Structures are given as C-alpha cells and as structure tokens.
Amino acid sequence: MSPEENAGLVLILLGMLLLAGYAAHVLGAKIHVPRVTLLMLIGVASGPYVFNLVPTTVEKFFPYVAHLSLAMVGFLLGEGFIGRDLRRLGPTILWVPITKTILAALFVFATTFAVEQSLTLALLLAGIAPSSAPAATLDVIRQNHANGVFAKTVLKVVAIDDAYGIILFTVLLAISEAIQGGRGATTELLFGLWDIFGAILLGILLGLPMAWLTGRLRQGEPALLEATGFVFLCGGLATLFDVSYLLACMVLGIVVANRARHYTRPFHAIEGASEPFLAIFFILAGFRLELDALMAIGILGLSYVLARSAGLILGGRIGATLAKAPPLIRRHIGWCLLPQAGVALGLALLAAERVPEYHDRILSLVIATTVVFELIGPLFTQRHLRLAEVEHKDRTDTVDVENPLNLST
C-alpha cells in the first residue's frame, strides 16, 4: 500500500471514530447513558471479539492517544485546586481520598487473601484497587454539565486520590518484592518516591513559565497553541523521565490556576481541544478490552469487584463524615469513585514485571475487572450525580446561598 493510500485510510478511520463519538454524545443525552460507556461499547462492537470492523493495527495508535488524552485530563483536573475552593472543601478532599484508599485496599486484601491464601497476591491487588479513572469521571461530569460543589468535590477527589494510591502501591509492591526476594524494598520505595515527587517538580518547573505567559495574553491571542504546547511538553518530559505524567500535568494545571492572571483561557482552550482525543481514547479502550478475560473472571475476580466497590463506597461516606461534609455528599460521593481504567492497568503491568511469579494472575484479573468497572462505573457516577441534583432541588429553601450544592447552572 502506498503512503498516500495509508494516509487516506488513517484519515477515514479518524473521521469514523470522531463521528462515532458525536453519535455517542447525541444518543447518550437522549437515553441518559454516560457517553463513556457508549464509546467503549462502540469500541467493543467494532473490535475483534464482535464484528471485527476495524483493523487490529489500529491498536498501535492507542498509547499515543492515551498519553495525549490523559495529559489533557490531568491539566484540566488541576483547575479545581484553586486556593479559595481548597479552603472551602479542604477537609473533604483530604479525608475522602485517604479513607477510600485505605478501606478499598483493606477490603481487597482481606477478601483476596481469604480466597487465594497468597499474601503476595493479596498485597499487590490491594495496592492496585484504590486507583480510579479521572478521564471517565471528568467526561461524565462534563456531559451532565455538572459544576456545583458536589461535582467539584468529586473531581478533586479523583484528581488527588491517584497520588495516594501510587504511594500505597509503592509501599505494598516493596513489601511484596521483599517477600519474593526481589530487588528490595528500599529500591522500590526510591522508584515510587521519584515517580511522585519527580512529577510534582516537573509540573512546577513548567507551570511557572506557563502561568507567566498566560498572564500576558490578550483577548483573542492563540491560547490553544500555548496551552497545548505546555501540556504536551509536560506529558512528554514526564514519560521521558519515567514519572507520572498524569500527576505532572495536574500539578501544571494547579500552578497555572493559582498563578496566572487570566488562568481560565488555557483551560477553556484545552477543554475544547480534548474532546476529539477523549472520544478516540474511549473507543480505542473499548476496542482493546479482552472479553475472554471477562468470561474467566471467576470467584477471585468477583470477590475483587465486590470488595473494591464496598471499600470505595464506605470509605467515601466515612471520609465525608469525618470532614463534616453535608449529608448529600456523604450519601453519594463513594458511588462516584467506582470507575477504574488506565492507572490500574499501568500498576498491574508494573506489578507483573516486578513479581513475575504472579504475572498471569495479576494481569488477567485486573484486565477482566477493569472491563467491569469501565462499563458500569460511569453509570453509577451519572446516577448519583443526578440523585444529588434532585436532593438539592428538594431542599433549596434551606441551602446556604454562599455554598450551593447544585450540579448545574
């Protein structure tokens, strides 16, 4: 096939994926199903396990689209960490990620150890369980035009809890390696610390000049070029230096949100630019789902799903209670934390590489359970966003006007 024909097929494929994304957006609004779920189902249907409509060579695009999409998602999540919002919601976004991370890990550890009687496997799965899916959660919230305090709280929690999850995973992986006689706990802890603090340092170093430049842009200037340039640069350098690119781009967004004079412009630019990337990302994610793994989920997989769900739901409620959050947040926050996607798979790959004795067990189980959480998690997130909105409307006469819990304007 000539280069021109190759280019033509790529453009046709991209056009079809984007039109499928548009169709999912329209259909989701009519039947009240999250666009994320519909996009992934389109990917599954077009993949090798169902109608096999798309060449398997399309998989080579996924790592690039995933990195670009998640870099943008990380930057957008950073906008929520503005000083005044943190002062208002500080206790909630501190306690909920901590309690949900701890309880999800404890529940999964106890359950999987009871089923498998393997301390190492239980520790590794406990470290993977708390990770969430910021991209899916952000997309559901944007699709529902949710911008009140409850939606902002959910976004801040899913933005920060992966940092807690990475820390916990690093510790548990170090213990597992020590048990199995790997390269040692100290080495693993150093790698984990570099993953987190290296990402934070990179985000700050790029965020300061981006904030300075953004503050000097006038209305009508090409904010999209400046914003995407910094976000992609941050994601690329993070990958090159082997640190968390999601966390690095989130710190980049935090610095810009708090330091730039006209900080809303780059966020609006990235929000618009991210739409086609996210649509393609979720379709390709569905295309890559291994349905064979789902069919072989077994007792261990079912136990993992139930234990992780219970830990997140209960942990979210306990954390919100400790933070003295309003009852509405206590009831619904945990249900919005169920989606799990790329971060979990990344941690599973790392665990399988570091502890090869459990390579097949870890990967097959996490891939299978990720299918479950990617498909049903957004449904629960959307349902509880709407339940929170209904509850708020039922009590609008008693709500403090300085701290509304409405989900939409």
Q: Mean pLDDT in the chain?
A: 79
List the structure tokens of 40.
């992934």
pLDDT at residue 271, as a whole number = 78
CA distance 43 to 278: 13
Residues listed for the chain? 409
Residue 335's SS3 state is helix
- The fold adopted by the segment(s) 16-398 is Na+/H+ antiporter like fold (1.20.1530)
Using a pLDDT cut of 90, give the percent of the chain over it: 16
Contacts of 254 (CB under 8 A, 6+ apart): 78, 81, 203, 207
95, 320 in Cβ contact below 8 A? yes
Contacts of 360 (CB under 8 A, 6+ apart): none
pLDDT at residue 315, as a whole number = 93
Domain residue ranges in the chain: 16-398
pLDDT at residue 409, as a whole number = 35
User: What's this model's pTM, rounded to 2 decimal places?
Assistant: 0.70
Angle, helix 134-143 to helix 35-46, in steps of 10 degrees = 120
pLDDT at residue 185, as a whole number = 59
Q: What share of the chain is helix, strand, coil (3-state, %, to 5)?
A: 80, 0, 20
pLDDT at residue 149, as a whole number = 78
CA distance 187 to 178: 10
Residue 219's SS3 state is coil
CA distance 250 to 190: 22
**Which segments in the chain show pLDDT lower than 50?**
220, 397-409
pLDDT at residue 3, as a whole number = 65
77, 267 in Cβ contact below 8 A? no
Q: Strands, DSSP E only, in 119-163?
A: none
pLDDT at residue 118, as a whole number = 87
pLDDT at residue 311, as a whole number = 94
pLDDT at residue 89, as a whole number = 60
317, 330 in Cβ contact below 8 A? yes
Query: How crowded is residue 157: how many other Cβ atoms within 10 Å of its Cβ?
Result: 28
CA distance 200 to 202: 5
